[in-house]
């Protein structure tokens, strides 16, 4: 058997592709569901936390900083294992899917909070002054003047972060969420062949390359020049 045949046989064995593509497709669907759920809840929660922090209420600010720093410091896998194997012992029974969704949402929320907060603090004081001088209260100035600008500044780092964290849905394979990688590793151990893993890689590309492109589009769409 020549090198090329061996390569094809290892990564793209036709019989295995045929056998496992439905499973990989199912996995893609699960991955899409988790990723979408994580993006929505993570971004929304992170934005909410940044807004709360803007009010500079000491105990709340400290609580937010503490949670955010811990979530950013720990590897997501540690959090997933901790939640999945720890929580049942204190009477909280969550499905693997739910654990993955909650943990990744929390992590994305933590990064989102930091990025949006950085955006808020980088808006010049004159913007607040202008808004307040036309009768906006603090909340109005925040919502209508400062946040729209802060969010535009946050979009490039936020897109990167969002993509990086949604890719972590692959960690769900460890606790048995039937997403792409989980399906692939199961098949791989049954067959003793890397073809299912190569299929998984292709599936991830199919899912995330469009997301990366969309991210780039959003960045240019919402980029705007400062006066």
Partner 1 sequence: MSSSAARPILEVRKLTKRFGTVEVLKGIDMVVAEREMVFLIGPSGSGKSTLLRCCNRLEEPTSGHVIVDGVDLMAPGTDINAMRRRIGMVFQQFNLYPHLTALGNVSLALRKVLKQSRAQADATARAALEQVGLAARAGAYPADLSGGQQQRVAIARALALEPTVMLFDEPTSALDPELVGSVLSAMRDMRAAGMTMVVVSHELRFAREAADRVVFLDHGQIVEEGPPSQVLGTPTSERARAFIADLLH
Nearest Cα residue to 106 out of 42, 170, 175, 39: 42
Write the CB contacts of 42 (distance below 8 Å, at least 6 apart in sequence): 104, 105, 106, 107, 108, 109, 112, 162, 165
Q: Give the span between the Cα atoms of 30 and 40, in whole angstroms.
A: 16
Pick the binder of partner 1 from 129, 190, 213, 221 (CB under 8 A). 129
Spell out, one character per residue from 135 to 154, where the chain touches partner 1: x when CB under 8 A holds, - when not: xxx--x---xx--xx--x--
Say if residues 99 and 175 touch (Cβ distance below 8 Å).
Answer: yes
Q: How far is the CB of 39 from partner 1 (least distance, A)?
A: 23
- CB nearer to partner 1: give 16 or 145: 145
* Residue with smaller CB distance to partner 1, 69 or 129: 129
Member of 6, 124, 216, 221 binding partner 1 (CB under 8 A): 124
CB of 136 to partner 1, least distance (A): 6
CA distance linking residue 152 with residue 122, whole number of Å: 12
- Closer residue to partner 1, CB minimum distance, 89 or 133: 133
> Which of 67/151 has CB closer to partner 1?
151
Q: Is the dihedral of CA 18, 19, 20, 25 positive or negative?
A: positive
Binding residues vs partner 1 (CB under 8 A): 124, 126-127, 129-137, 140, 144-145, 148-149, 152, 224-227
């Amino acid at each position: 058997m020549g090198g090329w045949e061996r390569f094809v046989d290892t990564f793209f064995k036709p019989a295995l592709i045929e056998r496992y593509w439905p499973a990989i497709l199912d996995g893609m669907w699960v991955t899409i569901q988790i990723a979408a759920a994580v993006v929505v809840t993570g971004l929304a929660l992170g934005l909410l936390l940044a807004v709360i922090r803007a009010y500079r209420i000491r105990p709340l600010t400290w609580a937010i900083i503490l949670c955010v720093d811990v979530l950013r410091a720990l590897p997501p896998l540690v959090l997933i294992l901790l939640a999945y194997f720890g929580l049942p012992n204190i009477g909280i029974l969550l499905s693997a899917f739910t654990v993955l969704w909650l943990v990744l949402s929390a992590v994305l929320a933590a990064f989102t909070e930091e990025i949006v907060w950085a955006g808020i603090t980088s808006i010049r004081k004159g913007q607040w002054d202008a808004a307040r001088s036309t009768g906006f209260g603090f909340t109005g100035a925040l919502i209508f003047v400062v946040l729209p600008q802060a969010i535009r500044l946050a979009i490039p780092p936020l897109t990167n972060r969002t993509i990086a964290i949604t890719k972590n849905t692959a960690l769900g394979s460890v606790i048995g969420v039937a997403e792409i990688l989980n399906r692939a590793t199961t098949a791989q151990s049954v067959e003793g062949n890397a073809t299912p893993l190569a299929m998984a890689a292709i599936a991830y590309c199919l899912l995330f390359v469009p997301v990366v492109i969309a991210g780039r589009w959003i960045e240019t769409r919402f980029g705007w020049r400062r006066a």
